[in-house]
Amino acid sequence: MTTVALPRVPARLGRFVLRMFRPHIYVTYGLLWVLALEGSAVSLSGTAWRPTGSTWVRVVSVVLALLFLRMLDEQKDFAYDRVHHPDRPLVTGAITVAELRGGMAAITVVVALLNLALSWAAVLLILLALGYGLLLVALERLSAAVTERQLLNLVVTYPVQILLGLYVYLSAAASGLVTGDWRAVPLLALCACVFLHFEFARKTSWDTEPGAHLYSQDLGARGSAAVAAGLAAGAVVCEVVLFGSDGTLGLLPCLMAALPAWGTWRFLSARRGSWPLPVAMGFVLGSYLALVARAVVLP
């Protein structure tokens, strides 16, 4: 059992974060997701939107929650990583389970205290998301199928993303910033489709490797590509339902559909290699940036 001197722990956690939770990716994603979701929810209520102090509490809380889940995944995936990713920090000893759990405990305290400034509802909602992440550990220990079957794993693990989306929306509603109505459903579905398009795209490949966790190994390359393309199409449908009456500017997010359309064509025509990942990432970032721009300008 590895023991680490306490003064060294912050530096080791910092190196873990820089390597496994790359800020330019994860922080950017969390930031744009919260701004796009909150901004769209407020503007759909007919109110002009600008980020406030509460907005930044939600941003920091979601980013820290994503880091909490990344730390949890590092522990859950240890057996898999020993075979397929032997250079991962937990496998090499660059970080220990105790250090990761200490970081998770600190994150839990910080997000709880931050959200006390919003409401008790916000505290409960963010802790519910973290708690579901912990529940996944027990589920994967009880059922090997949850770990080994990629589609089942997605069904079981994705709800934590839904809970984080609900935290953003419902905490804004609890503060009176958002007037909740039926449009919450297509708005949350829009965010889900955007994320899941990227999730399927990054695990879609013509190549197969024994033991690799790819959707294309369960659905086939064409089947997995079809799901990825269908999710992008679903995002566009949600955008039309939500913003179709706003005119050209309201439909600006729909223009981002050109990226997954090109990615689908490129992947299917190549018949080798993996989905062009930068295109899938561009769809996520472009969609959320367009939603933020729309919320700032409209109504």
CATH code for the domain in which residue 43 is found: 1.10.357.140
Do 128 and 197 fall within a single domain? Answer: no
| 3-class SS of residue 294 | helix
Residue 276: give the domain boundaries: 182-299
CATH code of residue 221: 1.20.120.1780
How many distinct structural domains can be found in the chain? 2
Q: Give Cα separations from 236 to 54, 186, 198, 224, 283 (angstroms).
A: 29, 11, 15, 19, 11
* 220 and 124 within one domain: no
Estimate the crossing angle of helix 53-76 against helix 9-20, to 10 degrees: 90
Instruction: Give yes or no: residues 166 and 58 share one domain.
Output: yes
d(CA 273, CA 256): 24
In order along the chain (299 residues), what is the average pLDDT of each group of 10 residues? 68 89 93 97 88 96 97 83 80 88 96 96 97 89 79 91 97 89 94 96 87 85 96 94 75 86 95 93 95 84
Same domain, 186 and 131: no
227 and 286 inside one domain: yes
pLDDT of residue 162: 96
Residue 189 makes CB contacts below 8 A (sequence gap 6+) with: 234, 238
How is residue 94 written in tokens? 């660059």
- Angle, helices 53-76/120-142, rounded to nearest 10 degrees: 10
Residue 125 confidence (pLDDT): 97
Quote the CA–CA distance of 154 and 205 in Å, as a whole number.
17
What are the contacts of 83-90 at 24+ separation with CB within 8 A?
83/211, 84/211, 84/212, 88/20, 89/15, 89/16, 89/19, 89/20
The model's pTM: 0.92
Q: 145: buried, middle or exposed (CB in 10 Å: 19+, 13-18, 0-12)?
A: exposed
pLDDT at 299: 59
Looking at the structure, do residues 225 and 284 belong to the same domain, yes or no?
yes
Residue 188 and residue 78 share a domain: no
